[in-house]
Amino acid sequence: MTLLLDEIALATARLAEAGVPSPRTDAEEIAAFVHGVRRSELHTVRDADFDALFWEGIARREAREPLQHITGRAYFRYLSLEVGPGVFVPRPETEVVAGWAIDRLREMDVANPLVVDLGTGSGAIALSIAQEVALSEVHAVEVDPDAYGWAKRNIVELGQGRVHLHPEDLNDCLPELDGRVDLVISNPPYIPPGAIPRDPEVRDFDPARALYGSGEDGLGEVRAVERTARRLLRPGGLVAVEHADEQGTAVYWLFPEEYGWRDVRNHQDLTGRDRFVTARFGQD
């Protein structure tokens, strides 16, 4: 047993006592980050090379600061993204939403699928689609200056010239694409005002603008996504929008047939909870 592995064991106990959901994994991730190695290589770190900054990172995680803020990286599908204060840390639930969109785009009989990601945050969804759907063209919209800065970093690094970032509001963005888009996707803010997220990592560190939706039910931005998608989509185009697990029925009814929506569906995440609604526009 090396010094570092001993320290990781002690750190795991501290994180578990603090209520961190994955204490061993987080302790190892922080150790790997501080020492510049992979998790599988932690045993190779010599005792003389142990860095006490490890315990600084553990103290931050013990205070429930997100692991991604400590390491500066979030993993989303096949991507490693830069994240930090001012941008929403992408979650595994949203990977399911992105996966649905990627599968549908691959099925489309379209040579160069045109996609819009409304409220892109770190750029996770937009970049995943660009990476996994050959010849797709993705337009990412983000009005918040802090989140826009993070998205720009990630798009410059990973976008391969196929993700275009726009500092616009999702209500009136991209009029030049009206009626042309194959798929609109969004993970907008949707927590009702006054509700308190359970997880300290979300409640205390994610930006409020990315969490709390407008209106009494928190669905003001989801309604805006519906209106914008209706304007942007071509006949037969698709929309996917994420929501909280208890909002499935409410969001379903925001895409009514009289507005041109067809095949409205609610989909579950990997925990079996309602997570996102999809619909097809204007084609019987």
Q: Which residues are catalytic?
A: 88, 187-188
Question: CB under 8 Å to 162, separation ≥6 — which residues?
Answer: 130, 136, 137, 138
The residue behind tokens 């009514």 is 256
> Is 158 strand, coil or helix?
helix
Q: How far is CA 28 from the centre of its chain?
A: 23
> Is 209 strand, coil or helix?
helix
Three-state DSSP string of 41-108: HHHHCCHHHCCCHHHHHHHHHHCCCCHHHHHCEEEECCEEEECCCCCCCCCHHHHHHHHHHHHHHHHC
Question: CB under 8 Å to 257, separation ≥6 — which residues?
Answer: none
The residue behind tokens 């205070």 is 63
The beta-strand segments (E) located in the chain are: 73-76, 79-82, 114-118, 137-141, 163-166, 181-186, 233-242, 261-268, 274-281
Angle subtended at Cα 92 by Cα 89 and Cα 94, rounded to the nearest 5 degrees: 80
